[in-house]
Structure 1
Amino acid sequence: MNLPWAAIAGGGLIGTSAVVLLATLGRVAGISGITAGALAAPRGDRGWRWAFLLGLMVAAAAVLSWQAGAGQPPRALLRDALPPWQLIAAGVLVGVGTRLGNGCTSGHGVCGLARGSRRSLVAVLVFMACAMLTTFLARHGGGLS
């Protein structure tokens, strides 16, 4: 049986980092909140945010480097190459959705549910239902895939 070890390890690392951040600094590991606060938070509250974001970038670079060293092309770069305007539009839409939802999917799903937040439960139920509907339509809706 071929288990998705990378996904299991990644999920464990995400959960561990969320617990460590909450236990040590009393902060929630919602990426959109951390990113927004990296520029807007009071000066004494920015260092841990930048360290967290830098850690995300270093980890991504390490995985890409490891893949290249193992002879595997970086999958994220090879998926669907989109024109720059579509990438920018997608980023703007994600940002707007994050603001409308008072957080991103990772913040609600990992941290909000762990804290027992009702708002996060509703958010997770809504985005999971939308994801399932989108997947169904893409696979069976005739021409959306």
Structure 2
Amino acid sequence: METVFTPWMSLAGGALIGLAAVALMALHGRIFGATGILAGALLPSDPQDRGWRLVLLAGMISGPVLVWMLSGSMPEVQVPVSLPALVIGGVLVGIGVTLGSGCTSGHGVCGMARLSPRSIAATLVFMATCGATVFLIRHGIGG
């Protein structure tokens, strides 16, 4: 399996994520943690807090539609694993997010920008685990 490196698209995507994180903090005083935003939309502790969460999630989901409207084609997505592997991966990510008190967007983007020691440690663990997983899958298991 070949990994496609897209530096300009990656840079643009990162800049948009950073801009969204800054805007959410400036306008609502909230951390841009995607998992926390989803959890708060599904099970809001404050009903007035649900609206902005739903709008933000709709924006995340509608991104590929915007690309399609501007370019005339949908972004190509390849998922080289089975449905059971996706489900297991999703469950493991959910457990990790719960144990780590946040996700990569909350810790990696917002927490590190605030120089939070906890977020820096969490992000280092995310990245080390990701690297080990890719190495194991590609070289150990042969995926």
Normalised by the length of structure 2, the TM-score is: 0.83
Identify unmatched segments of 5+ residues in structure 2: none
Partner of 2:76: 75
Distance in 2 of aligned mates of 1:92 and 1:131: 16
Offset of 1:127 from its aligned partner? 1.4
Identity percentage of aligned residues: 49
Within a 5 Å distance, the mapping from 1:1-145 to structure 2 comes to 4-38=7-41, 39-64=43-68, 69-70=72-73, 74-76=75-77, 78-80=78-80, 82-83=82-83, 85-141=84-140, 143-145=141-143
Distance 1:81 1:128, change over 3 A: closer
Distance in 2 of aligned mates of 1:140 and 1:80: 16
Deviation per residue, 1:99-121 (Å, 9 max, x gap):
11101112110011011211101
Task: Assess if the C-alpha contact under 8 Å between 2:64 and 2:75 holds in 1.
Answer: no
Deviation per residue, 1:41-80 (Å, 9 max, x gap):
211111111111011011133235556x24xx6421x331
How many residues are paired up?
138
Structure 1 moving runs of 4+ over 6 Å: none
The RMSD of aligned alpha carbons is: 2.2
Distance in 1 of aligned mates of 2:87 and 2:137: 23
